[in-house]
Structures are given as C-alpha cells and as structure tokens.
Amino acid sequence: MWKNALKCARPRPPAQVQAGRLRSLPPHAGVGLPKGCTCYATLAASFVEQRGTPPPPSQPRNVAGPSKRSTPLVSKGHKVEHALAEAVQTLKTPHQLRQFFVHLLVNDSVPSPVAIWNTFQDALAQDFIVESGNVNIGVNEALQEIQRALGEHGKSLRRYGLPEPAFHSREVEVELEKWKPELGTLASRSATAVSKLNAEQYQIYTEIMDAVTHRRPLCAFVDGKAGRGKTFLVNTICNKLRAAGHIVLPTATSAFAAQLYPGGKTTHSVFKVRALLSPCFHVSNLSVTLGTCRRGK
C-alpha cells in the first residue's frame, strides 16, 4: 500500500479491504518503493466492498497484490509469468487483467512481451471470445483495447513486438454472423457425422483437422466414385470447422454442385475467376447449336 504522506510502501493490513484502481506512480514518487516492484488493486464489485466491509470467508478477497509475506509482486526473484498467473486467478474480469498487462508493459516489467502474450492471450481475451463466439475475433478485439490503453501512455503494440490487431472486411463479418446462431447445432451435427465415417473417410478427416489445428498449409484432393461419401465428408469437415469459429468457403464450378454444401457458392463468384475461352471456339459452338436448332424445326 502506497502512503503519499510517508512517501513509501507499507504492507496492507490483513483485515483491511479497500477499493482501488490501476494507476501509475511517477518515478520521483517511488522513493520508498522497492526497485522493480509493481503494485495493483482490483475494482470494487459492490457498494459493500467500497465501504470497506470484508467479503464473506467463502469468497476470495478483493485484493490482487503481494502474498501474505508482503513480498513485491514483481521483483528480481519473481517472474512476470507467475504474476500474471496469479492475476488470472485473482482478478474478477479479463478487462482488469488487460489493464494489469498494460501496466507491466508501460513500466518495462516484461522482458519478453511476445512470449507472455502467446501464453496468456486466451485469458486476456476471454470476455471477447465468449461474446463473439470466435477465438480470432476475440483476440483481435483484445489487441485493439490494449492498443488504445498503450496509446494513452504514448506507446504502441509495435514498440513491444506484439501483433497488430487485424480489421476484418465486411465479407468476413457477414460470414461469421451468418453461422454464429448455429454454432451449437453445427457442433452436434458434426459430432454425429464423425461417428458415422468409415476408416478411409476418418483418415482424411483427421489429416485435414490436424492441418487446421497446427495451422499447417495443406492441399488435399479427395476422389471417389458416386455414392462413396465425398459430399458427406466435406459437409462434416465444414460443420466441424464452423462450429470452432473458423471461416469455410465451399465452392464448386457450377451452381448446381454448389447447392450440395451449406453456404456453398460458385468458384468464379467467390474468387472472381474469369472464364478464358477462345473466341473462335465460342462462335463455332454457337453456330453449330443454332444450325442444329434450325434443322430440328
């Protein structure tokens, strides 16, 4: 607990609970503060906590700071990973966790920001992930909030080597919103379909899902006679990926074939593929067709 009158840090009394907020101390104010120490406190969850009344014994204390031994939260003997791991268990919302992460960055307490972000990005973006139902969108929105918080201190994500937030196009947003209400149905449907796959189909399914999970590029060609389950396999993969929040674009060369897949479209409409046909062949084919029609009359 920082005492302005004494210009030093004092241990917080065990039975005292106070409402607080994250704030930075200027360098000249840290005369009595141990070097490398970072202190933080959580927001009050109710008016009872704001009045200073201790919470019930069964609930965790509204104090996210040093341990009972009153040691600094982050010092030479403590790693940032341990501090954030403790904050994940103690802080009430991911928003508070992001504030703490920004506070550590601004005070140069994170030796490897990228490694820390990769370890705790799911916890830092948990509220956005739950709200959007998509991991990529949730992480992207968390990066945007961290970017705005760092901007208040005159710093940016690029300064610490953190990934820049990606802004989705309108097409991507429409595709994600289209399948968001059906995530539960797609997950149930895909689980039922996976149980019905034969050995050969399941091998193809696992190979594709493994490539998606490990973000490994894969170009697969599935061939088979009519009625062997190619369409069933593709629909199973599409449902599984969409249930996990991924974007799937099933395409076919003809509109009739594209109707076999939910959300299917023609290849030339999705990827703007132009049909490059020879003018001579085009005219010759047209003339033969017209001639045949005339003779049929």
Alpha carbon distance 143, 151 (integer Å): 12
The per-residue pLDDT for 271 is 81
Shared domain for 29 and 125, answered yes or no, is yes
The per-residue pLDDT for 38 is 46
Shared domain for 57 and 100, answered yes or no, is yes
* Torsion, CA 239, CA 169, CA 129, CA 109, rounded to 10: 140
Shared domain for 155 and 85, answered yes or no, is yes
SS3 117: helix
Q: Are strands 2-3 and 265-266 parallel, antiparallel or unpaired?
A: unpaired
Shared domain for 131 and 197, answered yes or no, is no
Shared domain for 14 and 81, answered yes or no, is yes
Establish if 142 belongs to a structural domain.
Answer: yes
The per-residue pLDDT for 169 is 63
Report the interhelical angle of 113-124 vs 94-106 (nearest 10°): 170
The per-residue pLDDT for 140 is 87
Shared domain for 29 and 157, answered yes or no, is yes
Shared domain for 187 and 145, answered yes or no, is no
Query: In DSSP terms, which residues pair with 8 in a beta bridge?
Result: 3, 32
Establish if 77 belongs to a structural domain.
Answer: yes
Alpha carbon distance 85, 81 (integer Å): 6
- Which helix (H) or strand (E) segment holds residue 252: the answer is strand 251-252
Residues 6+ apart with CB under 8 A from 7: 29, 31, 32
Establish if 67 belongs to a structural domain.
Answer: yes
Overall number of domains in the chain? 2
Establish if 132 belongs to a structural domain.
Answer: yes
Establish if 292 belongs to a structural domain.
Answer: no
Place of tokens 């830092």: 124
Exposure string (b/e) for 239-269, b if CB count within 10 Å is 16 or more?
bbbbbbbeebebbbeeeeebeebeebbbeee
Establish if 261 belongs to a structural domain.
Answer: no
The per-residue pLDDT for 138 is 86
- Which helix (H) or strand (E) segment holds residue 150: the answer is helix 135-151
Shared domain for 215 and 89, answered yes or no, is no
Shared domain for 61 and 119, answered yes or no, is yes
Domain boundary residue among 107, 141, 167?
A: 167
The per-residue pLDDT for 89 is 84
pLDDT along the chain (297 residues), means of 10: 66 56 48 46 44 47 42 49 84 87 88 89 89 82 90 89 78 80 91 94 94 90 90 93 89 89 88 63 35 36
The per-residue pLDDT for 192 is 94
Domain boundary residue among 132, 167, 202?
A: 167
Shared domain for 191 and 155, answered yes or no, is no
Domain boundary residue among 116, 142, 167?
A: 167
Shared domain for 150 and 192, answered yes or no, is no
* Structure token digits, residue 144: 């945007």
Domain extent for 186: 176-248
- Determine if the pTM surpasses 0.75: no
The per-residue pLDDT for 31 is 44
Shared domain for 83 and 220, answered yes or no, is no
